[in-house]
Chains A and B, each alone.
Chain A
Amino acid sequence: MADDDYYRFDTLAVHAGASPDATHGSRATPIHLTTAFVFKDSDAAAGLFNMEQSGHVYSRLSNPTVAVFEERMAALDAGVGAIATASGQAALHLAIATLAGSGSHIVASTALYGGSHNLLHYTLARFGIQTTFVAPNDLEAWNAAIRPNTKLLFGETLGNPGLDVLDIPQVSAIAHRHGIPLLVDSTFTTPWLIRPIEWGADLVYHSATKFLCGHGTVLGGVVVDGGRFDWMASERFPELTQPYEGFHGMVFAEESTVAPFLLRARREALRDFGACLSPMNAFQILQGIETLSLRMQRHVSNTLEVAHFLESHAQVRKVSYPGLASHPDHELAKRLMPKGCGAVFSVELAGNRDQGRAFVEALQVFSHLANVGDARSLVIHPASTTHFRMDEQALKAAGIGEATLRLSIGLEDPDDLIDDLKRAFRVAFPKR
């Protein structure tokens, strides 16, 4: 896509995967609210079930509206295809469940969304999948944690909530030396700010609920396969290189040289676990993607203004935003994300837990809730909400303090946002 002779980002964001409806000429993507699709005849049905023909059978497996979203994300993220899911968490689970099983091992960054940490640390352990957590910037730790049964390395482009920048080129190089793919959560960055596949990641997923949708309306997720990982050369993935009895002995890596992961993910994990995306939600997310670059530019510029204001405020200990020169990963961020570092960051107030709570509750433009990536500005207190399950040591390891707040900067006028923050400072830190 970076090539001069291919359609550029904004064109793909509007057109990729879609064409005018063949029956009625609808220019917008129709919402195909149907459970199943009529077979042309019995032979065609057999062909669809046996992957001799392409088409839709049942909306848990695929759906025309959802497929437009999938193809659009593949185009935007430089992937060979994508699978949409009911949520970002479902996307993470789909990726893991396709490659790992009981006895498998994952190496993951410590700086993860609380839900992802929970899934890896508690839930998957119950199913026999173990995870070793390493600091995202400790390259030696990534390497040292790899075991013979390791199936994935996993991190976030911008670690939640400390905004650590994952050094994708370095971590992917470590992964590839061991014949392991790197999975990256790019929810905070979207393909407009970084396309992890172009930096070495093999699989990328997004919570489409956030900036892709962009309006805080629907849930969704998506996994994109970069198509570069050589599953055949690695000896760690019999799931893709040996016959799969669950689909008539298919050897996925022989069927498709570049996309065996997606073949199995759709024919097993999506089929059997069933966490598919509703076509209604896919439509809403597609509306968001059409304006993705416009919105992200505004998100980033607003965020820089707010972050600079907070960094200069006397009642602030620290602002963790890689777009600021004060962030330890600022140089790395400039290299990997030259258009900006998104709209989510954390700020540590010079106060205690009560002052943090008072600050949040005094805000009027910012909404206090557990989400990011809305057109509206959002705020949350991680220690008492998203990360409340973590003990003090785990919180510290993830860079969270008692009065740390996570902000998601929206599309409002930045002066109004700064005025709102000034008001909250006056309430939480009254002059004596």
Chain B
Amino acid sequence: MEVKLGQQSVYIYTGSKAFRPDLPSVLMIHGAQNDHSVWIMQSRWLAHHGYNVIAVDLPAHGLSEGPLCETVQAMAAWCSDLLDSLDISAAAWLGHSMGSLIALEAAASRPDQSWANVLLGSAFPMRVSDALLDAAQHDEQKAFAMITRWSHSGITHLPGTPGPGFSIYNQARRLMERQKPGVLFNDFMACNAYNRGLECAQAIKQPTLILSGALDLMTPPKAAKSLAETIIGADMRIIEKAGHQMMAEQPDAVRVAIARFLAGARSRRVLPNA
């Protein structure tokens, strides 16, 4: 659905269900150069199993209008404003890659807005290699090729996402090609510059799940270890046979991990929107 944040048009995917702020809300934040559709399998399940899904397109990504937010802190503040505008007092924040840094930042800076965090494909620091950063600035197609290659564990993913007969690899590439020029460099610069990871991790009080793809070359599991060790009570799980794009490569394993974690988090807290 389309909503307004000030004068800005924002697209939110609600999992093919009506927007229901009376249900526990789940804010799903995509990574660099992506949009809401990376969550297709998990968001539909959550929406059809008792959650109010807010899978957002970040500013100037997907169907949302710009301008771009240039820092992770600005992206987190924008997401907080969005929840406020939707009258959602708190949500579980699910973030993938750059989205995980946004969730991390928001969990510390606006703890009142978060009742749980799921960080997928996360790392701190989330450094982008010089070669990739250079390609993102000067040759986006080359950068897309590098990212696609490094984000997948292989070329065969059965039975496919969102179903049999789809190429996960080429879908990821095309989705990046859809975004506006300059978005990738902006996003990578934001990830590269973000330095509040451990500071925020120390401040987090909400239940937190960290999911890492066993074969992730972009944010390998060891790169998320410092976050897992710093966030009190954090549960870190490895998704086998998955790379950075774990939501597409192992949709069922990711969905099950998220669903079990959220159910546990709900049972331990009185939810503002429950």
Contact = CB atoms under 8 A, between A and B. Distances in A.
A51 B43 CA distance: 11
B165 A80 contact: no
Interface in B168-213: 169-171, 174-175, 177-178
Contacts of A249: 16
A175 B164 CA distance: 29
Nearest to A55: B159
A54 B48 contact: no
B48 A81 contact: no
Given A51-B162, A52-B48, A250-B16, A15 B156 contact: yes
Contacts of B63: 232
Given A6-B145, A80-B167, 6 more contacts: A16-B155, A62-B164, A64-B159, A81-B165, A227-B174, A257-B35
B163 A54 contact: yes
B78 to A, nearest CB: 21
Interface in A248-269: 248-251, 254-259, 262-263, 266
Interface of B: 13, 16, 35-37, 40-41, 44-45, 48, 62-63, 142, 145-146, 148-149, 154-156, 158-167, 169-171, 174-175, 177-178, 251-252, 255
A354 interface: no
A53 B175 contact: no
Most A-side CB within 10 Å, residue of B145, B154, B171, B175: B171
A47 interface: yes
Nearest to A78: B170
A80 B171 contact: yes
B40 A53 contact: no
Contacts of A258: 37, 171, 174-175, 178
Contact of A74 (B44, B62, B149, B170): B170
A146 to B, nearest CB: 25
B231 to A, nearest CB: 29
Contact of B160 (A3, A7, A67): A67
Given A81-B171, A82-B165, A259-B166, A16 B156 contact: yes
A184 interface: no
Most A-side CB within 10 Å, residue of B45, B63, B160: B160
Interface string A80-116: 1111100000000000000000000000000000000
B167 A75 contact: yes
Given A228-B174, A249-B16, A254-B13, A17 B40 contact: no
Interface in A61-83: 62-64, 66-67, 70-71, 74-75, 78-83
Given A7-B155, A19-B158, A54 B251 contact: yes
Interface in A22-65: 47, 50-56, 62-64
Tell me if A's interface is mostly helix, strand, loop or mixed.
Answer: loop
A348 to B, nearest CB: 42
A82 to B, nearest CB: 6
A404 to B, nearest CB: 39
Contact of B164 (A7, A54, A78, A79): A54
Given A52-B41, A228-B177, A232-B63, A79 B170 contact: yes
A5 interface: yes
B167 A74 contact: yes
A322 B169 CA distance: 34
Interface residues of A, number: 52
Contacts of B252: 53-54
27 contacts: A5-B145, A6-B148, A19-B156, A51-B163, A52-B41, A52-B255, A53-B45, A54-B162, A54-B163, A66-B165, A67-B160, A74-B170, A75-B155, A75-B170, A78-B170, A79-B170, A80-B171, A248-B16, A251-B16, A255-B16, A256-B40, A257-B37, A258-B171, A258-B175, A258-B178, A259-B171, A263-B162
Contacts of B175: 257-258
A262 B165 contact: yes
A47 B175 CA distance: 25
A213 interface: no
Contact of B155 (A12, A230, A262): A12
Contacts of A145: none
A80 B174 contact: yes
A52 B45 contact: yes
A71 B44 contact: no
Nearest to A251: B16
B40 A255 contact: yes
A135 interface: no
A18 B156 CA distance: 6
A257 B39 CA distance: 11
Nearest to B46: A52
A79 B62 CA distance: 20
A47 B171 CA distance: 22
Most B-side CB within 10 Å, residue of A15, A81, A263: A81
